[in-house]
Amino acid sequence: MTRGNGEQTKVVYKGKNEDFIVFIDSIENLNKWKKDTSIPLVDVVDSFKVFCTHKHGAQGILDEAGAGLLEDEFGTKKEDEVVKKILQGGSSQRGVAEERQGDRNPSDGSIQAQGYLA
């Protein structure tokens, strides 16, 4: 069974030493929020997690940004404040989340028979 293949919208912020990413619900909601910041952020962002790519661009492997990294770049480690700065200063990108394949049951007999699990 495949998972993924859904539309994915994100805001990419190019920092001094790192690229930061926040996932949002839609570009339309982001634009509404930029015009009226009284709209709650929960209506704009998909999650309040901030990711970094270790200078591999918007398509790189994403890791959750640590508090020290956020403090160095944004002057705060409060994720809601960081998210606001990323939404205001970043650029939005729309894409498709790639299909993911994987073993859902590693205790499957065929895998054990091949010697992958001991």
Q: Is 113 within a domain?
A: no
Decide the pairing of beta strands 19-24 and 51-52: antiparallel
Decide the pairing of beta strands 91-96 and 63-64: unpaired
The pLDDT averaged over each successive group of 10 residues in the chain (118 residues) is 64 91 92 92 91 77 90 92 94 69 56 54
pLDDT for res 35: 94
Q: Is 1 within a domain?
A: no
Q: Find the DSSP H helices in the chain.
A: 27-35, 67-74, 79-89, 109-113
Q: Is 100 within a domain?
A: no
Domain boundaries, position 28? 9-94
pLDDT for res 76: 93
Q: Is 67 within a domain?
A: yes
Q: Is 104 within a domain?
A: no
pLDDT for res 112: 55
pLDDT for res 1: 41
Q: Is 111 within a domain?
A: no
Domains of the chain: total? 1
Q: For 39-69, b where at least 16 C-beta lie within 10 A, e where not — what string?
A: eeeeebbeeeebbbbeeeebeeebeebeeeb
Give pTM, 2 decimals: 0.73
Q: Is 114 within a domain?
A: no
CATH of the domain at 28: 3.30.1250.10
pLDDT for res 55: 74
pLDDT for res 114: 56
